[in-house]
A = this chain, B = another copy of it.
Amino acid sequence: MKAEIITIGDELLLGQVIDTNSSWLGQELNKLGIHVHYKSAISDKREAILDALSQASNRSSIVIITGGLGPTKDDITKFTMCEFFQTNLVLNQRVLDWVTEIFTKRNLPMIESNNQQAMLPANCELLWNRSGTAPGMWFYENDVAYVSMPGVPFEMKTIFEEEVIPMLKKTFSFPSIVHRTIQTCSIGESFLAKKIEDIENDLPPHIKLAYLPSVGSVRLRFSAYGENELELHDELNPIINKLYDRIGNYIYGEGNDSLQQVVGALLNSQSKTLATAESCTGGYIAHLITSVPGSSNYYLGSVIAYHNKIKMEQLNVPESLLIEHGAVSEACVIKMAEEVRLKTGADYAISSSGIAGPGGGSEAKPVGTVWIGFASESKSFGRIFNMGDNRERTILRTALMALDILRKELLED
């Protein structure tokens, strides 16, 4: 089953936007057992779109198109799809009602370009866009499926997951594939690879292992291809068990679990509460925690003590401690965690203080030096790290590391 991805938009060709859609789609299609053999990025011009569609129809069974939909004059995909399929636009009442509802809710007037969003090519099936006003479209002609979706990543992802995958499964038959994704953190890709080298080398040819690294974590995705799904599971289980024996300490979850979800579930199940006190992470730990729906059940709040004055006044860090040890110190993060725990009445607290850079480093404490603090009823401690010289990555890595330290403590308790 050969698929190709066409992304439409001059902003991609001009390089003003980095295309994250097509790598996400590449992964999702791959999980279904669909092989992406070609990707193209084209201009939002009629001729370019027609040319790309015509070429794609000759070499692929599935053509995924993103972009070129939306209420402004840039919008051209819909018109060109009509031309390609020799059809015309017709009003879709369901979409019109939806768009009207959204605008009414937000107390905004409907203008002509919004009405235009409810006009769809007569030969397409609607792919419902729960996250926005530009609907997705499904076309099927001469054994080729064409999917057109807006380019806004979260809208595209919602449509793909909720609408496109079921349509693909209904239309085509795929071999059995079983994926198991193991989430690890607090260890780098090459060290991980070294630790499980023999497990990887012993994999049979129909089981593949992919390393999917991102800042602060590495996902290990096992994909087993075959005829019988149950047998594939039976083959994967002992391999995964071996992995847990070897690197269990670094594994925080499976599938799409995020570290903040895992930590939240642990807090929930133990009926415990959490507070944070952040300096160098500047609210990012709190943001990760509160990005999980329902986090208000266990998360009380935070003191972001970015300035030392706030550390002293709001977290009772003594000036003498700051003078003796500095704000980036074990003593400081322990005090921050202990104080925010007492102040809020939380069961657990984590804290951060470090030098995110680019300025502020010294020989003794170079940019990237970070202390993470922990406090519970029974103990408090600090741990030091060097997170490297990129501000954004230091913030991210520190937040994940703090959550992982909390996770391990929650598992022990």
Give A contacts to B, CB under 8 Å. Answer: 10-20, 22-28, 30, 36-43, 48, 70-74, 102, 105-108, 111, 113-114, 131, 152, 154, 181, 188-191, 193-194, 200, 208, 210-215, 219, 221, 276, 278, 281-287, 289-291, 293-296, 299-307, 309-310, 313-314, 343-345, 356-360, 366, 368, 386, 388, 390-393, 395
Contact = CB atoms under 8 A, between A and B. Distances in A.
Identical copies of this chain, number? 2
Contact of A283 (B27, B72, B285): B285
Contact of A37 (B43, B154, B393): B43
Contacts of A395: 287, 290-291
A214 B42 CA distance: 20
Contact of A190 (B20, B72, B188, B286): B72
Given A71-B193, A190-B111, A106 B15 contact: no
A39 B12 contact: yes
A155 to B, nearest CB: 10
A15 B10 contact: no
Given A190-B111, A287-B282, A392-B154, A37 B48 contact: yes
B301 A303 contact: yes
A357 B23 contact: no
B314 A306 contact: no
9 contacts: A13-B39, A15-B26, A16-B23, A16-B219, A71-B189, A102-B388, A296-B360, A300-B310, A301-B307
A41 B43 contact: no
A43 B211 CA distance: 14
> Secondary structure at chain A's binding surface: helix, strand, loop or mixed?
mixed
A42 B37 CA distance: 6
Nearest to A344: B310
A17 B10 contact: no
A332 to B, nearest CB: 14
Given A14-B26, A15-B30, A72-B193, 10 more contacts: A14-B27, A71-B190, A113-B190, A276-B304, A278-B286, A283-B283, A290-B306, A300-B306, A302-B306, A314-B344
A11 B212 contact: yes
B17 A392 contact: no
Given A38-B40, A306-B300, A23 B18 contact: yes
Nearest to A193: B72
A299 B359 CA distance: 16
A11 B27 CA distance: 10
A306 B299 contact: yes
A206 to B, nearest CB: 15
Q: List the 3 shortest-distance A-B pairs measured between CB atoms, nearest first.
A: A282-B290, A15-B26, A283-B286
Nearest to A152: B213
A275 to B, nearest CB: 8
B15 A108 contact: no
Contact of A30 (B14, B27, B278): B14
Contacts of A284: 283, 287, 290
Contacts of A10: 208, 210
A281 B39 CA distance: 37
A210 to B, nearest CB: 6
A63 to B, nearest CB: 14
